[in-house]
């Protein structure tokens, strides 16, 4: 992707393998025609003011809760994201977490490495069966659909919830639309696939965790603040639910106090789209969006095309 950009642009690459400080971000966007940015870059009015003259910020993510889209539109800056290319990798990761928690894979690995495996036992590290269980999917978009579709191989019943029923979801997965309470009560495993918005912040908190089965497992590969992490720690500690698999955290990269001490949770550092194939495709998509904007075209994954139409008198 960088080679592609280098053919057409003078590139300045952030050399640090870390999140930019706010001051660095404000400094680095100054005088650029286009910026390829990460979900850790909070893009608001101040940043767009500093980036005066920029045509585009290409976000290397499908989620764009880090972007004040209205402010970008006001400043005449186009914003793009990377939908589609990371769907399967993210859905796969939700399954990886579900298996890891249900079958105690990480716990078993630590136990074995520590030399604690002294002999096979019929009750050693019992987990939850996955095949034939009821899967609850909250969020019936691309990733939720891919996740639920993969459940067919495990003969699962799929329940789903979203703001409205989705025919596409049902056709792809055989899933049944239910209200959130029914889903939480009936699902053996609950996986979250919603974007982060005011209406999805703390979508799962104490009342929701209380509705879930004592044997339930919660999976989150969406955005951390969708789950009230303090409430989750309490529920896991008090065995209100059986376990959780988290790829995202409420105050990433910080973890809620006590979370890392729990055995019944598997934690990953926001790597759901981190495969060579997917990250390459995300980078190419972001680069192509950038190049389109620099050439004066409408970028294919533009989230605020009204900026383009306004500038081109359409």
Cβ closer to ligand 8YV: 61 or 209? 61
75 is catalytic: no
Nearer to ligand 8YV, 2 or 125 (CB): 2
The DSSP annotation for 105-165 comes to HHHHHHHHHTT---S--TTTT-----TT-EEEEE--SHHHHHHHHGGGGGT-EEEEE-SS-
Instruction: Work out how close the CB of 27 gets to ligand 8YV at its nearest, in angstroms, rounded to a whole number.
Output: 21
Smaller CB separation from ligand 8YV, 32 or 142? 142
Token readout for 229 is: 């992490």
Per-residue tokens: 244:
């959780």
Among this protein's residues, is 103 annotated catalytic? no
Q: In whole angstroms, what is the distance from residue 141 CA to residue 160 CA?
A: 11
Question: Residue 25 or residue 216: which is nearer to ligand 8YV going by CB?
Answer: 25
Nearest approach, Cβ of 139 to ligand 8YV (angstroms)? Answer: 13
By beta-carbon distance, which residue lies closest to ligand 8YV?
Answer: 61
Closest to ligand 8YV by CB, 240 or 247: 247
d(CA 28, CA 282): 22
Q: Is 16 a catalytic residue?
A: no
Residue 110: CA count within 13 A, CB half-sphere: 8
> Which of 127, 131, 129 is closest to 242 using CA atoms?
127
Point out which residues bind ligand 8YV (CB under 6 A): 38-39, 60-63, 86, 270, 272-273
DSSP bridge pairs for 190: 136, 218
Least Å distance, CB 304 to ligand 8YV, is 17
The distance of closest approach from Cβ of residue 271 to ligand 8YV in the complex, given in angstroms and rounded to an integer, is 7
Catalytic residue among 142, 161, 193, 270: 270
Whether 307 and 73 have beta carbons less than 8 Å apart is answered as yes
Q: Which of 142, 161, 223, 279 is catalytic?
A: 223
Q: Give the nearest distance from C-beta 247 to ligand 8YV in angstroms.
A: 9
Measured from the CB atom, the residue of 224 and 243 that comes closer to ligand 8YV is 224
CB of 282 to ligand 8YV, least distance (A): 7
| Active site residues per annotation | 223, 252, 270
């Amino acid at each position: 992707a960088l080679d592609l950009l280098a053919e057409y642009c003078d590139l300045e690459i952030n050399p640090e393998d870390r999140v930019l400080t706010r001051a660095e971000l404000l400094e680095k966007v100054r005088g650029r025609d286009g910026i390829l940015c990460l979900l850790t870059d909070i893009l608001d009015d101040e940043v767009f003011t500093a980036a005066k003259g920029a045509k585009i910020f290409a976000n290397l993510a499908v989620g764009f809760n880090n972007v004040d889209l209205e402010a970008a539109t006001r400043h005449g800056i186009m914003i793009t994201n990377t939908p589609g290319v990371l769907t399967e990798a993210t859905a796969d990761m939700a399954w990886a977490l579900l298996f890891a928690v249900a079958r105690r894979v990480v716990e078993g690995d630590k136990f074995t490495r520590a030399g604690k495996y002294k002999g096979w036992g019929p009750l050693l590290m019992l987990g939850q069966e996955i095949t034939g269980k009821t899967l609850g999917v909250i969020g019936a978009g691309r990733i939720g659909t891919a996740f639920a579709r993969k459940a067919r191989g495990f003969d699962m019943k799929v329940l789903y919830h979203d703001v409205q029923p989705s025919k596409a979801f049902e056709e792809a997965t055989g899933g049944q639309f239910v209200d959130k309470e029914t889903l939480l009560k009936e699902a053996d495993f609950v996986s979250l696939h919603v974007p982060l918005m005011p209406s999805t912040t703390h979508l799962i908190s104490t009342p929701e965790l209380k509705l879930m089965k004592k044997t339930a497992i919660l999976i989150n590969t969406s955005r951390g603040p969708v789950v009230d992490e303090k409430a989750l720690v309490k529920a896991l500690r008090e065995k209100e639910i059986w376990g959780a698999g988290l790829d995202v955290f409420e105050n990433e990269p910080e973890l809620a106090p006590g979370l890392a001490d729990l055995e019944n949770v598997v934690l990953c550092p926001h790597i759901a789209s981190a495969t060579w194939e997917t990250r390459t495709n995300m980078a190419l998509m972001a680069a192509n969006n950038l190049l389109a904007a620099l050439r004066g075209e409408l970028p294919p994954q533009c989230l605020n095309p009204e900026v383009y139409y306004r500038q081109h008198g359409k």
